[in-house]
Structure formats: C-alpha cells, structure tokens
Amino acid sequence: MTRRSISKRVALVTAAALVAVGTFAAGAAVAGSGEEAKPSKKQVAALFDDWNAALQTGDPEKVADLYADDAVLLPTLSNEVRTDREGRIDYFEHFLENKPVGKKIETHINVLDSDSVLDAGTYQFALTDHETGKKSVAKARYTYEWEKRDGEWKIVNHHSSLMPEG
C-alpha cells in the first residue's frame, strides 16, 4: 500500500468513526431526554384510591396534602369554592365528620401526557351522620385533574356535585 492510500484509508475510517460516535451521542441524548412514559389508566384510577384512603384516616390535613397549593376544589356538600389549603382543610373537617367512604360508579380517564391526567365520572359516598348515626348515600358526579409536580401526583382541580336527579 502506498502512503497516499494509507492516508485515505485512515481518513475514511476516522470519518466513519466520527459519524458513528455522533449518531450514538444523538441517540443517547434522545433516550435520556427525561421524557417519562404516560401513566396507565390503572395507575390513574389508583390515585382515587389514595384519595379515598386519605378520607378514611379522618385527618383533613392528609386529604389536603393531596392537593396542589393552587388547586381549586368545588366540593360536593358545600357551595363555597375552596382555593387555598385552609379552605380545603375547613371543608374536609366537616365532610370527614360523616365518615365518608367513596366508591366509583362510572369512570372515564384521559391521560393527557406523562404529567397530566383527567378522571371524570360518577361516585357515591356512604355517610354516617356524626350526631344521629343515621346512614345515607350521597351520589355525585366528579372531575379530578391531576398533575405530577416535583415527582408527586397532586390534584389541581376537583369538582364534585350531587346528582341533579337524586
């Protein structure tokens, strides 16, 4: 082989190596871009189970912890819109007195992206009056908007209203 052919071969091998390294680096950047997989509908449905379990603790602060600081709560048994933590705690203090146990009846989940989901449908609460012990059921429709913030799912909007037809 001549010196010239060796130089050409080295140049071609070097160029091919640079292209390969560049392709690998670009692929690694895309793969490591931090884009997370979207949650499954089953994972989204479990968020309600966590919320319902927080109700069972009887601790309004544990329930309020599931809401983002800037969340809006349009509660089932109150006409007052709750837009801050204190308002949500106040609502849940009264709501929890009746030992609510939620049960979904119908649910429709929309996974918007890896950090935002909507869960809407109907549910009911078994309630026990804290003064009389009388049991009742409140049937309602609901919408939860959840966002992942700092790695944790938080409720950013929650609307719940009694069924208009009872």
At 61-100, the pLDDT tens digits run 999 999 999 999 999 999 999 999 999 999 999 999 999 9
Residues 78 and 138 in one domain: yes
Residues 78 and 13 in one domain: no
Could you identify the residue written with the tokens 């966002």?
147
Residue 118, pLDDT above cutoff 50? yes
What pLDDT, on the 0 to 100 scale, is given for residue 69? 98
Biggest CA-to-CA distance, the chain: 103
Strands (E), 5-151: 67-74, 101-113, 116-128, 135-149
Tally of domains in the chain:
2
Question: How far lies 115's CA from each of 31, 39, 151, 158, in Å?
Answer: 18, 8, 9, 17
- pLDDT-wise least confident of 25-29, 42-46, 89-93, 107-111: 25-29
Residues 28 and 84 in one domain: no
- 8 A C-beta contact, residue 44 and residue 109: yes
Coil, helix or strand for 69?
Answer: strand
Residues 87 and 105 in one domain: yes
Specify which residues 126 forms β-bridges with.
101, 137
Taking residues 104-116, report their average pLDDT: 97
Question: How far lies 165's CA from each of 22, 38, 106, 123, 138, in Å?
Answer: 64, 36, 16, 14, 12
Counting Cα atoms < 13 Å in the Cβ hemisphere of 75 gives: 21
Tokens of 45: 């449905």
pLDDT band at 140 (very low <50, low <70, confident <90, very high): very high
Residues 23 and 79 in one domain: no
pTM of the model: 0.78
Q: Which domain holds residue 86?
A: 41-162
What pLDDT, on the 0 to 100 scale, is given for residue 1? 56
Which CATH number belongs to the domain containing residue 119 in this structure? 3.10.450.50
Residues 55 and 19 in one domain: no
